[in-house]
Amino acid sequence: MSCYRTLNKISKNHFLILRRFLRTNVISNPHIKVSEEVQDAIECKKPVVALESTIITHGMPYPKNVVCAVQVEGVVRKQGAIPATIAIIRGKIHVGLSETDINMLGDTSSSKPIKTSRRDLAYVISNEMSGGTTVCGTILVADQVGIPVFATGGIGGVHRGADKTFDVSADLIELGKSGIAVISSGVKSILDIPKTLEYLETQGVFVGTFGDSNEFPAFYSRKSGSKSPYIVQSAKKAAQIIKSSMDMDLKSGMLFAVPIPEKYALSYETMNEVIEQALKSMDPHMEGKQVTPYLLSQVAKLTSGKSLESSIL
Ligand code: PSU
Ligand code: MN
């Protein structure tokens, strides 16, 4: 009996030490501020969903960006999880934002946050700037604070013409080296989808389409002409894949592609034409991090905002 009591006491002490370790581990990084709600959820192993912020700062115009970000947080809460939107505010990485923070980041008339991927992070922090974290930047931070699930709209990928430009999003590399599960609506066909899938395979990233078709979705449309290597039929199956990946300590990411519901989907053929037009209108000297935001805003213009509506829905 006393043995059990001692054991119990030891494990309780261990738990407290571990808890303190986890707490200081997150908080002792002077560059990261985790909100109390998110911190508590991580410690108590409640479900937490990381969310990116480049979509707020560079992916959509104001005020739709702010409305959408707040709505997405609401959807996460409705499912019983805690949202952890990640962004940089005056040199500090925040995990879990207030509505005031989201509004400040989204209102680009008053602030000019930097699109922050891995290569930008140290510069933005050391210059006390604000930044919207890309999928790459968000994965990096989520991984450091111990959030294993991240939801977003569309991830970056291999750009069309990458054989000449070498434009491959750092999102794919980060996915390859963090054991995180990213849930998205696939990738937009502003990218080269077959090459993106090839690249993910090379990086060792699991890719599965959620539902009963193995067509990899192209964000605005349910089809893309490319196949996902796997079908994931249910949330339970997805959870089992994530658990097995953790058990195996694979330390490489998983991409669960959830097709847009039929009623909000736009035609793949029409979107392809629009994208071709957007690509043609691009200044041939445009490069680097400007390419994706430019193409997204052109597509929104050419569809008179329809593409934006289906992004939000
Ligand atoms: N694709 C979208 N919407 C977006 C982005 C990509 O459909 O808002 C943003 C994401 O934050 C993504 C980033 O991580 O653009 C990729 O940029 P780049 O291609 O420069 O790596
Ligand atoms: Mn790029």
State residue 3's pLDDT score.
Answer: 41
Q: Which residues contact 47 (CB under 8 A, 6 or more apart)?
A: 41, 80, 81, 82, 149
- 52, 73, 174, 215: which is the annotated catalytic residue? 52
- The answer to whether residue 188 is catalytic is yes
Burial status of residue 163 (CB atoms within 10 A of its CB: 0-12, 13-18, 19 or more):
exposed
Report the pLDDT value the prediction gives residue 111, as an integer from 0 to 100: 80
Q: Torsions phi, psi of 78, nearest 5?
A: -60, -30
Residues with CB under 5 A from ligand 2 (ion): 167
Q: Ligand 2 centre and the CA of 25: distance in Å?
A: 32
Q: CA separation (Å) from 286 to 29, 124, 156, 281, 290?
A: 36, 22, 17, 11, 7
The structure's pTM equals 0.91
Ligand 1 atom showing the smallest separation from residue 136 Cα: 14
User: Does the annotation count 52 as an active-site position?
Assistant: yes
pLDDT score recorded for residue 19: 54
HSE at residue 272, side-chain half, CA atoms within 13 A, is 10
What is the whole-number distance in angstroms between the Cα of residue 73 and the centre of ligand 2? Answer: 27
What's the chain's Rg over C-alpha atoms?
A: 20
Mutate to test the pocket of ligand 1, among 155, 185, 193, 286 (most ligand atoms within 8 A of CB): 155
Distance from residue 210's CA to the centre of ligand 1 (Å): 21
**How many alpha carbons lie under 13 Å from residue 263 in its C-beta half-sphere?**
1
The length of the chain, given as a count of residues: 313
Per-residue pLDDT of the chain (313 residues; tens, 9 = 90+): 344 444 455 555 555 554 555 554 455 799 999 999 999 999 999 999 999 999 999 999 999 999 999 999 999 999 999 999 999 999 999 999 999 999 999 998 888 999 999 999 999 999 999 999 999 999 999 999 999 999 999 999 999 999 999 999 999 999 999 999 999 999 998 999 999 999 999 999 999 999 999 999 999 999 999 999 999 999 999 999 999 999 999 999 999 999 999 999 999 999 999 999 999 999 989 989 999 999 999 999 998 888 888 777 7
According to the model, what pLDDT value does residue 17 have? 52
279 burial (CB, 10 Å; 0-12 / 13-18 / 19+) is middle
What is the distance between the alpha carbons of residues 48 and 166, in angstroms, rounded to a whole number?
35
Residues with CB under 6 A from ligand 1: 52, 54-55, 59, 117, 134-136, 153-156, 169-171, 188, 219, 289, 292, 296
Contact 199, 158 (CB under 8 A): yes
Q: What is the pLDDT of residue 194?
A: 97
* 3-class DSSP state of 33: strand
